[in-house]
Amino acid sequence: MTTHLRVLRPAPKVFAFYDGRVDGYRFAEGENWVDDGALSLGIASYAIVDGADALVYDTHVTVQHAAFIRKTLADAGVKNFTVVLSHWHLDHVAGSEAFDDCRIISNKRTLDHLSRRKAAIESGEYSGPPVINPLVLPTQTFEGRMQLQVGKLRVELLEANIHSDDATVLWLAPERLLLAGDTLEDTVTYVGEPENFDIHLAELDRLWALRPERILPNHGDPEIIALGGYEKTFIRANQQYIRMLKRCVSEPELRTKPLRDIISAPLEAGWVNLFAPYEAIHRQNIEVVLAAKLS
Ligand SMILES: [Zn+2]
């Protein structure tokens, strides 16, 4: 199950655990959320490590993935694990059982989302197979912001409303490093809450104001992640795409254009890169935006 899971080192104290974007490989036959929302696009979770301490940022798509992460870190000398969840979506929380003896932190909204759907996620009624059973819930919550010490590293947890209304991003101020969860995505963001687009745009300005030097998203290009991550213009690319989706409401001729035309400027600038499966995500995003009847 973890055959294609690879360990990248984007920064000296950072591990990325990347799976997916593997030609011809599927996790399972038929529609399922692991392939369709995660592995087909590529998904990373991260760990920030200093000495015997690790902050594990998301628990990946299966308990086996999470166990692999835990073993890799233990082999590197980690003894104390703290998990932080980026948001409640299944591809980010599925492996939490492998850390059920550890502190698991999320913002309050993430806990609310997961608690409300716990029974349906565990039975498969919520999004079909594979079920996550048991769904291990966060053991500690925060609102707004929280500071964590990982060895000698100071990590800030910042709550945001981007992509989902319960995002938690990690900010390492001295290193100017932002771990963005799903608030930023290469090639384009996966839209679930278009009614909050204006909030997303304003919140992305907040991330821009941090002046990150490097950004690590959970869905992005493994080569760029391996080389240290994205520049802050990645934020502008995501904002421009959201503005284009908003324009698709009033300008029907934009709706049929291929993704490469919709984001041509950010692509030419190298802020993001075209990965073919995102064409289908873009089609789906347009449907979601039109169905939301934004004014
Ligand atoms: Zn995701």
User: What pLDDT digit, counting tens, does each position of 57-72 carry?
Assistant: 999 999 999 999 999 9
**Is 295 a residue whose pLDDT tops 80?**
no
CB 88, CB 58: distance < 8 Å: no
Cα–ligand 1 centroid distance for 58 (angstroms): 10
Task: Give the pLDDT confidence of 98-146 residue by residue, as tens digits.
Answer: 999 999 999 999 999 999 999 999 999 999 999 999 999 999 999 999 9
Degrees, nearest 5: CA angle 43-179-137? 70
Q: Which residues pair with 19 in a beta bridge?
A: 43
| Number of residues assigned to the chain | 295
Degrees, nearest 5: CA angle 265-269-270? 120
Q: Which residues pair with 48 in a beta bridge?
A: 14, 55
Residue 171 lies in a domain: yes
Cα–ligand 1 centroid distance for 216 (angstroms): 13
Instruction: Please report which helix (H) or strand (E) contains residue 141, including its range.
Output: strand 140-142
Cα–ligand 1 centroid distance for 166 (angstroms): 13
The reported pTM is 0.97
Residue 250 lies in a domain: yes
Residue 232 lies in a domain: yes
Q: What is the span of the domain harbouring residue 19?
A: 6-291
Tokens of 278: 């995102």
pLDDT of res. 37? 85
Cα–ligand 1 centroid distance for 182 (angstroms): 6
Q: What is the CATH number of the domain that holds 14?
A: 3.60.15.10
Band (294; pLDDT cuts 50, 70, 90) = confident
Q: Which residues pair with 18 in a beta bridge?
A: 6, 44
Cα–ligand 1 centroid distance for 163 (angstroms): 9
Band (157; pLDDT cuts 50, 70, 90) = very high
What is the Cα–Cα distance from 221 to 165, expressed in whole angstroms? 24
Cα–ligand 1 centroid distance for 91 (angstroms): 6
Tokens of 263: 């984001």
**Is 56 a residue whose pLDDT tops 80?**
yes
Give the pLDDT mean for 72-82.
98
**Is 293 a residue whose pLDDT tops 90?**
no
Nearest residue to 118 via CA among 139, 91, 104, 137: 137
Segments of 51-87 assigned E as strands: 53-57, 80-84
What is the Cα–Cα distance from 257 to 247, expressed in whole angstroms? 12
Question: What 3-state class would DSSP assign to 190?
Answer: coil
Task: Give the pLDDT confidence of 27-50 residue by residue, as tens digits.
Answer: 998 999 999 889 999 999 999 999
Band (188; pLDDT cuts 50, 70, 90) = very high
Residue 50 lies in a domain: yes
Residue 230 lies in a domain: yes
Number of independent structural domains in the chain = 1
**Mean of the per-residue pLDDT values of the chain:** 97
Which residues, by Cβ under 5 Å, contact ligand 1, an ion?
91, 182
Give the pLDDT mean for 158-186.
98
What is the Cα–Cα distance from 216 to 228, expressed in whole angstroms? 8
Cα–ligand 1 centroid distance for 217 (angstroms): 10
Residue 14 lies in a domain: yes
Task: Give the pLDDT confidence of 204-215 residue by residue, as tens digits.
Answer: 999 999 999 999
pLDDT of res. 122? 97
Q: Which residue has the tokens 């806990």?
A: 111
Residue 100 lies in a domain: yes
Residue 1 lies in a domain: no
